Amino acid sequence: MTNPVVLEAKNLVKYFPTVSKGLLQRSMDSVKAVDGVSVQVRAGQTLGVVGESGCGKSTLARLLMRLLPPTSGTVLLDGADITSLTGRELRAVRAKIQMVFQDPVASLNPRHSVGQIIGTPLKFLKENSASGAREHVQELMELVGLNPEHYNRYPHEFSGGQRQRIGIARALAVGPQVIVADEPVSALDVSIQAQVLNLMEKLQSDLGLSYVFIAHDLSVVRHIADEIIVMYLGKVVESGSPSEVYGTPSHPYTQALLSAIPVADPRAAGTHKRMVLVGDVPSPIDPPSGCRFRTRCPRAQDLCALEEPALIDRGQGHPVACHFPG
């Protein structure tokens, strides 16, 4: 835990305005996608971000990447504020922080060859000579386990797992410090997921990369992360090391998430006590007052509707945003 902080977000907020048109009046609402999230990513380590659809984890990734301007809050890279950079300065930041996307089909241009795809970031972010680029791209292909001879092939000629390797090679092309991976293995088959995860871990130890690893699957995150945050409706509800979050989950939402995972052991299926949440995630346009989880929480009391619980250590050894942790 002594590694220096590479990427830091302080109190990030992102509201997306929505206009709902009534018959006589137009009202302005906003989707509160990320609402006051602070994170730290340390050098050579992995921050795992877990949550279900609509919890704001992808928006958080885009805010960290500076692909979206935050409504308020700051993003620091190596201690320097990058929140309001534009143009040339922003491009210099992009060379240090890169992204791997969920869908390897949609995130690769079908009309560009693999060589072009991996080489493009080099062209824009690094002033490489054209002759060196091809060699560099082929080195990258080899690094991620692709055959360098396939330089001129197109994305459709590769399988899903190989395409995700192309996406990883593209992110690595400019030699970044941080890679933000938004559900990088969710679209892949189980046996292929394991291959890609192993590759990412190997690259991390070889190149000293830091990852922000976003997933809805807690078992993936457990495997790869050094630090985990659990998000619900735009807020962090619990954070800590994997052994803290998985060993002694203290927020009822984390507990429900963990107990919802099907266990690949039929004997456990009978004994495993499941905490099934009732209902659905409320609308992020009009989140519940107080604690946002209270509408589905089995432990909710009057206080929960009145006062929003802060994300602090309440005697659990790690921060939990719950009035009644247990």
Using the rule CB under 8 A, give the single segment among 130-138, 171-179, 251-259, 286-294 that binds other proteins. Answer: 251-259
Structure tokens at 240: 């800590």
By CB under 8 A, the residues from 177 to 216 that bind other proteins are: 189-195, 197-198, 201-202, 216
The whole-angstrom separation of Cα 204 and Cα 206 is: 6
Strand order in the sheet with 97-100: 97-100, 178-182, 210-215, 46-50, 227-232, 235-240, 319-320, 312-313
78, 103, 217, 308: residue in contact with other proteins (rule CB under 8 A): 217
277, 305, 308, 324: residue in contact with other proteins (rule CB under 8 A): 277
* Shortest distance in whole angstroms from residue 271 CB to other proteins: 12
* Shortest distance in whole angstroms from residue 263 CB to other proteins: 6
92, 269, 285, 312: residue in contact with other proteins (rule CB under 8 A): 269
Q: Which amino acid is at 133?
A: A
Nearest Cα residue to 277 out of 259, 302, 290, 263: 259
52, 78, 103, 308: residue in contact with other proteins (rule CB under 8 A): 52
* Shortest distance in whole angstroms from residue 133 CB to other proteins: 28
Q: Which is nearer to other proteins, 69 or 247 (CB)?
A: 247
82, 99, 143, 218: residue in contact with other proteins (rule CB under 8 A): 218
Binding to other proteins by residue 243, rule CB under 8 A?
Answer: yes
| DSSP annotation string for 15-63 | EEEEEEE-SS-EEEEEEEEEEEEEEEEETT-EEEEE--TTSSHHHHHHH
The whole-angstrom separation of Cα 49 and Cα 65 is: 15
Q: Which is nearer to other proteins, 52 or 103 (CB)?
A: 52
* Shortest distance in whole angstroms from residue 154 CB to other proteins: 15
The whole-angstrom separation of Cα 273 and Cα 71 is: 41
Rounded alpha-carbon distances, angstroms, from residue 265 to 12, 217, 260, 272: 40, 18, 14, 10
* Shortest distance in whole angstroms from residue 83 CB to other proteins: 31
Q: How many residues bind other proteins (CB under 8 A)?
A: 48
19, 28, 130, 264: residue in contact with other proteins (rule CB under 8 A): 264
63, 281, 297, 320: residue in contact with other proteins (rule CB under 8 A): 281
Q: Which is nearer to other proteins, 180 or 257 (CB)?
A: 257
Q: How many CB atoms lie within 10 A of CB 283?
A: 13
* Shortest distance in whole angstroms from residue 266 CB to other proteins: 5
The whole-angstrom separation of Cα 285 and Cα 234 is: 11
Q: Tell whether the torsion through CA atoms of 284, 300, 257 and 39 is positive or negative.
A: positive
Nearest Cα residue to 155 out of 222, 109, 91, 102: 109
- Contact assessment for residue 45 and residue 227, using Cβ atoms and an 8 Å cutoff: yes
Q: Which is nearer to other proteins, 146 or 172 (CB)?
A: 146
By CB under 8 A, the residues from 136 to 165 that bind other proteins are: 159-162
Residues that bind other proteins (CB under 8 A): 52-53, 159-162, 189-195, 197-198, 201-202, 216-220, 222-224, 242-243, 246, 256-269, 274, 276-277, 279-281
